[in-house]
Amino acid sequence: MAVLNMLDLSGLDLVDGHCHGITTTPLDDAAFELWCTEADEPAPVGAPYLDSQVGLALRRWCAPLLGLDAGAGVEDYLWQRRRLGPEEAAGRLLRAACLSALLVDTGPAVSGLLPAPAVGALAAAPTHAVVRLEQLAESVAPVSGPDAFADAFADALRAALPGAVATKSIAAYRHGLGLDPTRPQPQEVRVAAARWLRDGGRLTDPVLLRHLLWCAVDTGLPIQLHTGFGDRDALLARTDPALLQPFCEATLRTGARLVLLHCYPYHRQAGWLAQVYPHVYADVGLTVAHLGARFTAVLAEFLELAPFGKLLYSSDAFGLPELYLIGAAQFRHSLGQVLGGFVADGALPATDALRIADQLGSANARRLYGL
Ligand SMILES: [Zn+2]
């Protein structure tokens, strides 16, 4: 029934609003499997990671691009990928995603990833930079020292802005989203920076994370925030976007715009925040690529409360070109199913369906990020 009601959105224009570099070095099967998932430990015998939704999505959407039948087995896929070579495979997969622009996050720093312009060249689409706040702070602090850190970071952020269309925070990973929402005082930042530089390690101090976020607010650019699932470096319970409500409240009249990335399994919380706060948006990246066919159900849940002008497409592809294509193909397919279902039910006039599809696919991103 759902298939009969489906809207054909295979030609829908997509802006990939959050994505990363890819690797084109040859990968063995175990490494490829790990790149496909958020796991970092080898799978136990008898339960391979790709015997899952993301594996089904890989076989469905990517196999035909490498000259195999849709649904070809993972082993056949990996054999064919090796035969073609990773660069040929990457070019086919990225071009097939048919993206009109890419917003490339330069973190996390993993050696050997193709930089943004090279990914854009493979996708035949322009790229736009997103400034990663914690990464920038970690490069500034050792040079500035604790006393000058607050201003040095703000200066470095301003210097990084030309050409950038957004900033990005992974405070969810480093501390969790339950942050004091207020802007920290200069003296607090000095003390926290001194403690951090003395103890070393990654930036995890909540005072400093707040300083970064408020400097990002000052830029006026949209702030992308990691929320929801990710790799096991994230404490999932601390990534619920509902924890950000005090920050949403504190930034309501500052001109800030907050983009909640990923969101799953807290996507309904994100939808609510996007409804009640005019400056809050939700993005389906990562969720779309990893849930496979089940993304249709989750997309329908995203669309329960979030206004249609507040929901954005991205793949959050990282490392593998396959994740760019899975995200794009699954999004077009699932959106066609969800909107087609609304039309068949009489809930959505057919003339509005394409307008809404266009908003989610690219128009919202073009407006929000000023592309
Ligand atoms: Zn990401």
188/48 same-domain check: no
31/18 same-domain check: no
Strand partners, 47: none
The pLDDT of residue 146 is 96
Q: Name the DSSP letter for residue 22.
A: B
67/206 same-domain check: no
User: Where do we find the tokens 């703000």?
Assistant: 154
Residue 333 located in a structural domain = yes
The pairing of beta strand 311-312 with beta strand 258-262: unpaired
Residue 303 located in a structural domain = yes
336/194 same-domain check: yes
The pLDDT of residue 1 is 43
pLDDT tens over the chain, length 371 residues: 445 689 999 999 999 999 999 999 999 999 999 999 999 999 999 999 999 999 999 999 999 999 999 999 999 999 999 999 999 999 999 999 999 999 999 878 778 899 999 999 999 999 999 999 999 999 999 999 999 999 999 999 999 999 999 999 999 999 999 999 999 999 999 999 999 999 999 999 999 999 999 999 999 999 999 999 999 999 999 999 999 999 999 999 999 999 999 999 999 999 999 999 999 999 999 999 999 999 999 999 999 999 999 999 999 999 999 999 999 999 999 999 999 999 999 999 999 999 999 999 999 999 999 99
Residue 92 located in a structural domain = no
Residues 6+ away with beta carbon under 8 Å from 278 = 252
Number of domains forming the structure of the chain: 2
Q: What tokens does 215 get?
A: 């400097």
Quote the ligand 1 centre to 109 CA distance (angstroms): 12
Instruction: Tell me which residues have their CB within 5 A of the ion that is ligand 1.
Output: 316
d(CA 146, CA 164): 27
Quote the ligand 1 centre to 18 CA distance (angstroms): 6
50/147 same-domain check: no
16/45 same-domain check: no
The answer to whether 260 and 283 are in contact (CB under 8 A) is: yes
The pLDDT of residue 81 is 97
143/258 same-domain check: yes
246/317 same-domain check: yes
Strand partners, 319: 22
Order across the sheet with 258-262: list the strands. Answer: 14-19, 99-105, 127-132, 164-169, 223-227, 258-262, 280-283, 311-312
Quote the ligand 1 centre to 219 CA distance (angstroms): 21
How deeply is 136 buried, as exposed, middle or buried, from its count of CB atoms within 10 A (0-12, 13-18, 19+)?
buried
Quote the ligand 1 centre to 182 CA distance (angstroms): 26
Quote the ligand 1 centre to 353 CA distance (angstroms): 29
Task: Look at residue 155 and give its three-state secondary structure.
Answer: helix
**CATH number assigned to the domain comprising residue 232:** 3.20.20.140
The pLDDT of residue 155 is 98
Quote the ligand 1 centre to 2 CA distance (angstroms): 31
The pLDDT of residue 108 is 80
The pLDDT of residue 273 is 98
Residue 173 located in a structural domain = yes
Residue 364 located in a structural domain = yes
The pLDDT of residue 211 is 98
Residue 245 structural domain? 3-25+97-369
The pLDDT of residue 4 is 62
Task: Look at residue 95 and give its three-state secondary structure.
Answer: helix
Residue 90 located in a structural domain = no
Residue 91 located in a structural domain = no
d(CA 362, CA 102): 11
76/202 same-domain check: no
Quote the ligand 1 centre to 253 CA distance (angstroms): 27
116/221 same-domain check: yes
Residue 295 located in a structural domain = yes
Quote the ligand 1 centre to 316 CA distance (angstroms): 5
Quote the ligand 1 centre to 285 CA distance (angstroms): 8
Strand partners, 283: 312
272/185 same-domain check: yes
276/223 same-domain check: yes
